[in-house]
Chains A and B, each alone.
Chain A
């Protein structure tokens, strides 16, 4: 029997892991909580806790065993649940914060580092449960450690719920205020979506959609460092060559996710849902999407040419990844969070990257305005207007967009906040302060665009 692999192939895999930061970013177990409704809030909380603990009992141990056997780091083990707004809806009295506390406790018990799904989908309007959940978000984010929250305020099919956009500006401000002793960390766990995907394994926006099965395993891969290593030092390549190399690299990264997802599903006896083939940066040097864009030949990310570079990168990643997996889903593209990417941080600090350019970049990347900090005196109306702009990009372009913004109390442009770990650090970015109050307070819904009429 011959050796099936060349030395170069084996070494390439080992090098990707050891020096280029290739990892599986997350194995996220989706759990339906639709059988946990009860009239009594405390009983609901108990049912939520029990079900999560039962289903996810072996998640962390299984992730660690797979990581070890295959020699590939699996950084995070996480859980997503059915949007809690629906689960608490039958409760006659009490606060949704109690349900968030049950999720947090279950996260600690199972050993996962985040649990997503303290969520509401209000793109077309509120139910009473949606309203109660959203009102509970600031306190829930302040009093829990691992619970992540998301609110979907628009879709291409429904338009944008401007009442919710207006409210989310206030909710984000309140969340920042309640966690001001920790540099508004609550806002890092809260994301506002347009076209939220139901199977996204990445936090903070992960939740278990209502069309999903009872339980499911979704996997998010990473690997900006691998793409960077593949393309750096080749200014002589034309774009066809560049795109081709990125595609091939994305293929290999995604195969890793496919393997881990299948294996985790098999061992945990639940279906394997999707691989999210996103390039997710970390604050580690060299594990940066911004560095990839600069390696393409830009002096600094944020300069002219950045949008084109990102568009090409995002598309090539999708093309390579789509061929590598039986089911691709979630967000699947390049992430451009500011605080979690050393190259993005540097560009903001040097003044090369402004919020307007970041917004333009979100038109062609996989998510949106992510993990950026703004002055503490930013008004709720300005934040609502940022959300409205970003949602409009998603609605018209039929893609997911999101806003995860930190208006850090007491901080101003020139300051920075340090979160540590994967959340990184964020320089405070300047923004336009012209008052959009009348616009965001009009209320009602921005109607669905003409491109929604596809039937």
Chain B
């Protein structure tokens, strides 16, 4: 079954409930999390997820808008980008 993989990055100041807030939204729209990792990079909380949006109930564009609004609400910068941008740049 084919996947449509998107990388979600969440960057900002660490606080309680970031992962919970983001994953709740992803679950609501049937976005499946394939992998997740978090770290503190250059003093910033940084979370990265690879998600599959092939069964998502919303388009990538809508998801981007939803996540951006969520990010604004919880004071984080959230981006969702097609995986290929990272694959092309960092993998041959």
Chain A residues proximal to chain B, CB less than 8 Å: 1-5, 7-14, 65, 68-72, 252, 255-256, 258-259, 263
Measured between C-beta atoms, what is the minimum distance from B52 to chain A in Å?
10
Min CB distance, A325 to chain B, in Å? 10
> What is the distance, in angstroms, from B32's C-beta to the closest C-beta of chain A?
11
Contact A3/B50 with A11-B41, A69-B61 known, Cβ cut-off 8 Å: yes
B88–A14 contact, CB under 8 A?
no
Segment 4-29 of B: residues with Cβ below 8 Å from A: 7, 9, 11
Which residues of the partner chain B approach A263 to less than 8 Å between Cβ atoms?
84
Among A12, A71, A263, residue most surrounded by chain B Cβ atoms (within 10 Å): A71
Known A10-B86, A70-B82; contact A4-B64, beta-carbon cutoff 8 A: no
Q: Pick from A2, A4, A11, A256: contact of B85, CB below 8 A.
A: A256
Q: Are B35 and A259 interface neighbours, CB within 8 A?
A: no
Q: A3-B50, A7-B46 are in contact. Are A259 and B85 (CB under 8 A)?
A: yes
Q: Which of chain A's residues have a CB closer than 8 A to the CB of B88?
A: 255-256, 258-259
Q: Which one of A7, A9, A259 lies within 8 Å of B84 (CB-CB)?
A: A259
Residues of B contacting A70 in the complex (Cβ-Cβ under 8 angstroms): 81-82, 84-85
Task: Using C-beta atoms within 8 Å of the partner chain, give the interface range for chain B.
Answer: 20 to 34
B62 to chain A, nearest CB (A): 11
How far, in angstroms, from A72 to B7 measured CA to CA in the complex?
13
Inter-chain contacts of A69 with B (CB < 8 A): 60-61, 81-82
**Cβ–Cβ contact A3 & B48, under 8 A:** yes
Q: Known contacts being A3-B35, A3-B37, A71-B79, is A252 close to B50, with CB within 8 Å?
A: no
**Which of A12, A70, A256, A263 has the largest count of B CB atoms less than 10 A from its CB?**
A70
A327 and B61 CA atoms in complex are apart in Å by 30
Given A69-B60, A70-B82: A11 in contact with B89 (beta carbons within 8 A): no
Please list the residues of chain B having a beta carbon within 8 angstroms of any beta carbon in chain A: 7, 9, 11, 34-37, 39, 41-42, 46, 48, 50, 60-61, 64, 79-82, 84-91
Tell me, in angstroms, the Cα distance from A14 to B61 when the chains sit together.
Answer: 18
Chain A residue at smallest Cβ distance from B79: A71
Q: Give the CA-CA distance A65 to B61 in the complex, in Å.
A: 9
Q: Is the CB of A72 within 8 A of B64?
A: no
With A5-B90, A70-B81 known as contacts, the answer to whether A10 contacts B61 (CB < 8 A) is: no
Q: Are B50 and A4 in contact (CB under 8 A)?
A: yes
Contacts of B84 in A (CB 8 A): 70, 259, 263
B82 touches A10 (CB 8 A): no
A4-B91 in contact (CB<8A): yes
CB contacts (< 8 Å) of B7 on chain A: these are 5, 10
Please measure, in the bound complex, the distance between the C-alpha atom of A70 and the C-alpha atom of B36, giving whole angstroms: 19
> Given A69-B60, A70-B82, A10 and B48 touching (CB < 8 A)?
yes
Distance to closest chain B CB from A66 (angstroms): 9
For A5, A12, A256, which residue has the most chain B Cβ atoms within 10 angstroms?
A5
Nearest chain B CB to A265 CB, angstrom units: 14
Q: Complex formed: what's the CA distance from A78 to B69 in Å?
A: 32
Q: Which of B35, B42, B81 contacts A71 (CB 8 A)?
A: B81
* CB <8 Å contact, A5 and B82: no
- Contact across chains for B81 and A7 when beta carbons are under 8 A apart: no
Find out whether the CB atom of B48 lies under 8 angstroms from the CB atom of A256. Answer: no
Once the chains bind, are B35 and A2 in contact (CB under 8 Å)? Answer: yes
Q: A4-B91, A14-B79, A71-B81 are in contact. Are A9 and B86 (CB under 8 A)?
A: yes
Q: Chain B's nearest CB lies how many Å from the CB of A186? A: 38
The 3 A-B residue pairs with the shortest CB-CB distance, nearest first, are A71-B81, A259-B88, A70-B85
Contact sample, A vs B, 28 pairs, CB 8 Å cutoff: A3-B35, A3-B36, A3-B50, A4-B87, A4-B91, A5-B48, A7-B39, A7-B41, A8-B41, A9-B86, A9-B90, A10-B9, A10-B86, A11-B42, A13-B86, A14-B9, A14-B11, A65-B61, A68-B61, A70-B81, A70-B84, A72-B85, A255-B88, A255-B89, A256-B88, A259-B84, A259-B85, A259-B88
Query: Which chain B residues border A9 with CB–CB below 8 Å?
Result: 86, 89-90
Complex formed: what's the CA distance from A296 to B91 in Å? 28
- C-alpha spacing A258/B42, complex, angstroms: 30
